[in-house]
Amino acid sequence: MPDPIVPPRISRAEVAHLAHLARLAVTDDELDLFARQLDIILTSVARVADVAAADIPPTSHAVAMTNVFRPDRTRPSLPREAVLAGAPAVEDDKFRVPRILSDEA
Amino acid sequence: MTLTYEDVLGRYEPVFGLETHVELGTESKMFCGCSTRFGAEPNTQTCPVCLGLPGAMPAVNARAVEDTIKIGLALNCSIAPWCRFARKNYFYPDMPKNFQTSQYDEPLCVDGYLDVDVDGQNYRVGIERVHMEEDTGKNTHVGGATGRIHGAEYSLVDYNRAGIPLIEIVTRPVPGTGARAPEVARAYVTALRDILRTLGVSDVRMEQGSLRCDVNTSLSPVGSGAWGTRTETKNVNSLRSVERAVRSEMLRQAELLDAGERVRQETRHFSEVSGDTRPGRSKEEATDYRYFPEPDLVPVAPDPAWVEQIRAALPELPAARRARLRESLGVSAEDMVQMSNAGVVDLVGETVEAGAPVDEARNWWLGYLTQKANEREVDAADLGVAPGDVARLVALVADGTLSVALARQAVDAVLETGHDVDAVVAERGLRKVSDTSALERAADEAIAADPDAADKVRGGKAAAVGALVGAVMKATRGQADAAAVKQILLDKLGGGV
């Protein structure tokens, strides 16, 4: 099948970079696997370009709407116990998270 | 080797730019109905939307869009007929969603400018964009010596602030200001803050973080025509710090360049304590945000008629108000520059509106009140003395109730207690002693207590009366009119001319 737009072939290095950005620990075997799988996904999605003629504008939303606003009114928030119930660690009613930066500076 | 500021300017031309973040004063957050109230108990103002829980759907706060359009119009921007939100992806625990909903290549307002005045000279600061986004949660870093992120063992996060409407206002790079670069940068933030306050879109309190600045600075060798590598300084949380941050970066970068080294493109943090900048997160690491259009929100397409309606309803902006004030106050251009530099133009205007003569209002604000503001390292507008208080003081001095010295004591009392002028005058019993017999008695006592000084005055040394005046003022707790006391003493001692 002719393919007018060559889909971006995702490299192993790009997958490694994305994994790093997503803070995912990925093994060498997984890098190969994910690169292959992501390539298939990207190729499939790129086929949209086959049917997107010049008269079809790109969209980022499934419904052609604009200006869906809500009035500036407050609504009750969640109780704090419920909010913190899902936290792995809590201290002083706050989410406790591990060290953010390694000691580099 | 330490460079002077003049050395730097002899060899380099500074260019600066500012990214200013403003928290809007809406009741509810940008995409959900949680309250935006400052100072609430931690994590009591969150919901599935601002916590990014699965399945939660955001919806745009109409007032936030309107406020952003107001800001754009006040900054002479064009309002985009159509724009979208985007996801800025990053992993940092201040956003529970792991992305910040922001705007990327389609900001709501573009291509404006703001004219600012430094010492009577106009500088036009180009506005590249004004876009909508949401604020992040607040981290408290625990462990380590400084309470800063570096060296911390762990961090605690309060998400009350996450999702509060945040507007980012980005200038174009501003070249050509030379030695005035730090002052122009400060004047820009001051003018911007005044506009935001006038629009009523934010409480613009830098000390509470509702107005925050990132300052970009670079140097280029004079005459080279090429701009240098810029650094971005964060954590610049007062007007004074804006000025100091630009200046200290100019000095730091010039020393590097003089030594033949390169300026690294990086994020730096301003220290209020030391007045200089320290390296922060490495810029290279931080730029891969993988922006993409936010699929949970539909585009914003402001109706031109709505935009025009907003434009028509804009309040009189500070520049126009100042021009009008200058006209109606009848002050000279030099006075205007002086008042403008001290940040007291509006205060003087309001004091006059409250009934004080122009000269009195100007003298108070440029004199004692500016001095007090400097002592406290705040702007005159944030000093805590209202124009109405000043007008009241002027009236009390004019009708003889207070001397100028007592009026100053009243200012001190207002600053201490937060009460108004009439209250502190009553509380402290401030009242000029004009009862002549009481003054005569105090004068006799002073003469009796210091016969040497009295003799000198009798002998023709009029200057020696100062010690006696001081004694009477002390005895009357400063409430006497010093000129009247002096006259009484001189009359008694016959030493007057």
3-state SS assignment for residue B327? helix
The residue segments making up the domain with residue A26 are 1-54
B146 touches chain A (CB under 8 A): no
Burial A41-53 (b: 16+ CB within 10 A, else e): eeeeeeeeeeeee
Question: CA–CA separation, B255 vs B278, rounded Å?
Answer: 15
A73 touches chain B (CB under 8 A): yes
Question: CA–CA separation, B350 vs A67, rounded Å?
Answer: 40
Place of tokens 């759907």: B57
Residue A104 lies inside a defined structural domain of this protein? no
Question: CA–CA separation, A35 vs A23, rounded Å?
Answer: 17
Q: Do A96 and B154 touch (CB under 8 A)?
A: yes
The contacts of residue B194 (CB under 8 Å, 6+ apart) are B318, B346
**Confidence band for A52, pLDDT divided at 50, 70 and 90:** confident
The contacts of residue B189 (CB under 8 Å, 6+ apart) are B18, B20, B211, B213, B239, B242
* Phi and psi at residue B210, to the nearest 5°: -80, -5
- CA-based nearest residue to B123, from B73, B189, B74, B213: B189
Range 1-20 of A in CB contact (< 8 A) with B? 17
Q: Which of A20, A42, A72 is the best residue to mutate to test the B interface, defined by the most B CB atoms within 10 Å of its own CB?
A: A72
The DSSP 8-state label assigned to residue B91 in this structure reads: -
Out of A1-5, B240-244, B294-298, which region has the weakest mean confidence (pLDDT)? Answer: A1-5
CATH 1.10.10.410 residue window(s) in chain B: 436-493
Largest CA distance in chain B: 95
Question: CA–CA separation, B161 vs B138, rounded Å?
Answer: 7
**Confidence band for B152, pLDDT divided at 50, 70 and 90:** confident
Q: Do B33 and A74 touch (CB under 8 A)?
A: yes
Give me the half-sphere count of Cα atoms (radius 13 Å) on the Cβ side of residue B156.
12
Q: Do A72 and B26 touch (CB under 8 A)?
A: yes
Q: CB-CB: which of A63, A67, A83 is closest to B43?
A: A83
Q: How far is CA B273 from the centre of its chain?
A: 18
Residue A5 lies inside a defined structural domain of this protein? yes
Overall average pLDDT of the B38-62 stretch: 95
> Taking all residues of chain B, what is their mean pLDDT, rounded to a whole number?
90
- CA-based nearest residue to B326, from B477, B485, B38, B117: B117
**Amino acid sitting at position B455:** D
The DSSP 8-state label assigned to residue A66 in this structure reads: -
Q: Please check whether residue B213 is in contact with residue B242, taking contact to mean a CB–CB distance below 8 angstroms.
A: yes
pLDDT in tens, B110-133: 999 999 989 889 999 999 999 999
B38 touches chain A (CB under 8 A): no
Q: CB-CB: which of B46, B158, B292 is closest to A77?
A: B46
Q: Which two tokens stand for residue B476?
A: 């009357």
pLDDT of B449 over the 80 cut: yes
Q: Which two tokens stand for residue B400?
A: 């003889």
CATH number of domain containing A47: 1.10.20.60
pLDDT of A7 over the 50 cut: no
Query: For the structural domain made of B436-493, what CATH number should be given?
Result: 1.10.10.410
Residue A23 lies inside a defined structural domain of this protein? yes
Cα separations (Å) of A39 from A49, A50, B165, B293, B312? 16, 17, 38, 22, 53
Element of type H or E holding B485: helix B482-493
For residue B138, with 0-12 CB atoms within 10 Å meaning exposed, 13-18 middle and 19 or more buried, which class applies?
middle
Q: Which two tokens stand for residue B205?
A: 């309190």
Q: How far is CA B353 from the centre of its chain?
A: 23
Q: Which of A100, A102, A103, A104 is the best residue to mutate to test the B interface, defined by the most B CB atoms within 10 Å of its own CB?
A: A100
Q: CB-CB: which of B46, B62, B151 is closest to A83?
A: B46
Beta bridge partners of B278: B269
Residue A89 lies inside a defined structural domain of this protein? no
Q: Which two tokens stand for residue A65?
A: 């709407």
pLDDT in tens, B193-211: 999 999 999 999 888 889 9
Q: Please check whether residue B438 is in contact with residue B445, taking contact to mean a CB–CB distance below 8 angstroms.
A: no
> Could you give the ipTM of this predicted complex?
0.83
**Confidence band for B351, pLDDT divided at 50, 70 and 90:** very high
The contacts of residue A54 (CB under 8 Å, 6+ apart) are none
Overall average pLDDT of the B280-288 stretch: 58
pLDDT of A103 over the 50 cut: no
Report strand pairing: B86-89 vs B121-134: unpaired
pTM of the model: 0.78
pLDDT in tens, B466-476: 888 888 888 87
Q: What is the pLDDT of residue B496?
A: 46
Q: What is the pLDDT of residue B284?
A: 43
pLDDT of B179 over the 60 cut: yes
Domain count, chain A: 1
- CA-based nearest residue to B460, from B494, B483, B484, B491: B494
Q: What is the pLDDT of residue B491?
A: 83
